[in-house]
Structure 1
Amino acid sequence: MGARVARLFRNFNLENRVHREISKEKPRAAPRHAATALPSAGSSSEEGETVNQKNVPLLTNLQSVYVESTDPAAAAAAAAAEASKIVMVSKEMERRPLKYSLPLDRYGLVELTDVPKGKLTITEALKALSSHQQQPQTWTPEKIAQDYSLDLKDTKALLEFFVPFQIQIIPPKTENAKQIKAS
């Protein structure tokens, strides 16, 4: 209720008040300080002439300067791309034939014929790991690395950290719990 009354007084004779404000004379801007005042057309014409004149010594100095700019990040990225391309080409040339493979035609997959040196297929990795697990004296890390053209360090890491087909049966804490019998 109070908002309606306030709106009535606020909007009362609004048009007349607006016309009165618009028809008033506008206030003048404060005068500027002499140091920051803009130069007028009639004052200091000598300054304007010296600014617009060519200064020959400065112009010759400017013409003798030559600036060539390159982006160091782009140059480094281009060099790295070129280096990786060279490494990739050299690694693609060094390939070795497969030792073991699975028949994959029935699954619609393409069978590989060779792999890059330093790489293994899953079939070869599983064969190497299982043969090392069955006969560790015969299939040493050095022999596996030599047969599959691998680094010795990578082969040792593979044999240490990737152990397939290892089943561990943990005995139960209570005697009356059911246990799987190893056969």
Structure 2
Amino acid sequence: MGARVVRMFRNFNLENRAHREVSKAKPTPAPRHATPTNITEPAQEVTAAIHKKNEPLLSLLKSVYVESTDPVAKPTTAVAKAKEEVERRPLKFSLPGDPYGICDITDVPKGKLSLVEALTALNSHKRSPDSWTAEKLAEEYSLDLKDTLALLEFFIPFDVKIIPPKEEGVNQIKDS
């Protein structure tokens, strides 16, 4: 009901008010800034300077000689493939069964870890950091020491923290 009253006051005499606004005198625009009359002279000077030949620069440009060759591509021969095979190491740990098809992997490149090996190494280091140091893990898994230190610092396996409930007035579900 209130919207009808508001609309009625808003639309009251709308046409007359619109005509009154349209018939008002328009404000005069501000005067334009005076521009110089000989504006083409500097532009002509600039274009003449651009198109003028500069003999010393031209002679320096002519003395430059560039020679380029494509880099020689490394041939992929049987020797290179054999070298790649030598740089692989067998897996130390794998998952039992065939979850997600990752048990098909039998070896990994040196300097890399499988997910199971990474979790095993991190768990070993977490349980006994004195015996499983970064140097020993790097040697055991053929890793770079810098990568091993980064792995131990930034990759943290899941930590389960059990927070005991408050004793006062807490109802718990008990096993039957």
TM-score range, shorter chain: 0.3 to 0.5
Query: Could you tell me the TM-score, scaled by structure 2's length?
Result: 0.45
Query: Larger Cα Rg: Structure 1 or Structure 2?
Result: 1
Query: Could you tell me the TM-score, scaled by structure 1's length?
Result: 0.43
